[in-house]
Amino acid sequence: MRFPALEAHNLQEMPYTCAQCSFCQVGNGACPTYKVKRRDSYSGKGKMILTRNLLQGRLKPSLGLEGLRDAIFGCTLCGGCEEICQVDIPFVKIYQLLRNDFLKRGMWPEELAVARDTLLKTNNIQGQSQMDRIEGWSYWHPDEDMVLDLEGKESKTALFAGCASSYKGVSIQGTIASTLIYDKAGADFTILGEQEYCCGAPMIMTGDFETAKKFAMHNIEKYNELGVERIVTNCPGCYKMWAHEYHEFLDIDHGFEILYGAEYLLELLNKDKLEFNTPLDLTVTYHDGCDAGRNAGFYEEPRKVLEHLPGVTFEELPHNKGNSFCCGSGGVLRAIDNDFAVKINDLKVEDIEATNASVVASHCPSCVDFMHNQLPGAGSSKVSKDLVVLVAQAMGFEWEGLEEIY
């Protein structure tokens, strides 16, 4: 049988290159879904063997396709297999293309059809009103007027918040912190506010490229209207879309410079624009979210930002950087099978518990949110915070919503 999306990207030979060494199953930090399921098909190797057998006609679709579908969608796209694979199979891209092939075969998980309907109806994956995309967090902001003045302002630099950082209780703290920091640093920037739509990541990650394109084109048009040239985002999932996947999967070349939030913070620090006056007196560890770390290579930038913060003792997690354990929230797995994602998160909590840190910092709104939800339930007294929130606190900023959420 054929997988047309794989063929269109000239990756149909890749499943034949797997050497079956099993590094992607047992390697340090490797596959979280295999660790939980203990089934071959949930590892990179298993998925390649199944795909190859289907391509060769050695396995009838009626015997192998459904199992492959479940494993392809039961994956966090964490890139652990890609990191360790000795023959350099570009797994994350292959999984997204296979997800597109399953969509075209009418084998998309039902939960994703519901998520797509929500997105098309409300323009955000939370299914909330677009008005709350700004009012939901500006309400907690110590300078609400400043935030409202930013909305739709012409500027060369834009902060793209993303859905999680606009709506979720913990994640919005990073948006509040960023706007406070940028303003204090004298940066000229704009936000789209109500006019910001989802970047399309949930659809690109699950293979619905056509729907994703509508969202991408809307935001691009809005930024062009405002004269934007650089886009900063704290969400590594949004970053990956803007910086790479619009081009790779949607054939869009928008021409904007895309910066990950930690890169921009470092730029401000290097220009001496940030002043710290409040020692944090904390031991902090750092979670490399998969899209920021393995999938984009931002390992040093957040650590360098942490080095600048007064009163921070830094301790690495046992599994860090390329070997970081996934938190379980990637690849839209929470929408497909939340219990599975929680089991993956339990492994992450064990890793966090092995440190002396009281705070696990990260720079991904989804990771921070999921860890914040899961840590107390797993019996941990540690808290997860966005890196940018720690920066704002070390600069002396305080706001009511932050106290409330922690």
Radius of gyration for the chain, computed over Cα atoms and rounded to the nearest angstrom: 21
Among 2, 16, 19, 28, binds ligand SF4 (CB under 6 A): 19
From CA 360, how far away is CA 142, in angstroms rounded? Answer: 25
**Inter-residue contact 59 to 50 (CB < 8 Å):** yes
User: Look-up: residue for tokens 């079956």?
Assistant: 20
Residue from 28, 56, 86, 224 binding ligand SF4 (CB under 6 A): 86
Instruction: Give the CA dihedral 114, 342, 363, 394, nearest 10 degrees.
Output: 120
Asked if 75 touches ligand SF4 (CB under 6 A), the answer is: yes
Query: Which of residues 24, 292, 309, 327 is near ligand SF4 by CB under 6 A?
Result: 24
List the one residue out of 289, 313, 311 whose CA is nearest residue 302.
289
87 binds ligand SF4 (CB under 6 A): yes
Other residues' Cβ atoms within 10 Å of the Cβ of residue 392: 25
Q: Which stretch binds ligand SF4 (CB under 6 A): 77-85, 201-209, 306-314, 369-377?
A: 77-85
Q: Which stretch binds ligand SF4 (CB under 6 A): 29-37, 303-311, 356-364, 377-385?
A: 29-37
Task: Using CB under 6 A, pick the residue from 14, 77, 125, 134 that binds ligand SF4.
Answer: 77
> Exactly one of 36, 59, 81, 115 binds ligand SF4 (CB under 6 A); which one?
81
* Nearer to ligand SF4 among residue 182 and residue 325 (C-beta): 325
* Tokens 């932050």, residue located: 402
Question: How far, in Å, CA of 145 to CA of 168, rounded?
Answer: 21
**Euclidean distance between CA atoms 193 and 175, whole angstroms:** 12
Return the residue of 15, 64, 80, 236 that touches ligand SF4, per CB under 6 A: 80
Among 1, 11, 21, 378, binds ligand SF4 (CB under 6 A): 21
- Cβ partners under 8 Å of residue 327, min gap 6: 287, 289, 344, 345, 348, 366, 367, 370, 371
Write down the H helix ranges in 279-399.
Answer: 300-308, 333-336, 338-353, 365-377, 387-394
Out of 6, 14, 18, 368, point to the residue binding ligand SF4 (CB under 6 A): 18
Q: How far is the CB of 53 from ligand SF4 (least distance, A)?
A: 14
**Stretch of 41-49, 214-222, 317-325, 383-391 lying at the interface with ligand SF4 (CB under 6 A):** 41-49
Instruction: Give the footprint of ligand SF4 on this chain (CB under 6 A).
Output: 18-24, 30-34, 43-45, 48, 75-81, 84-87, 89, 91
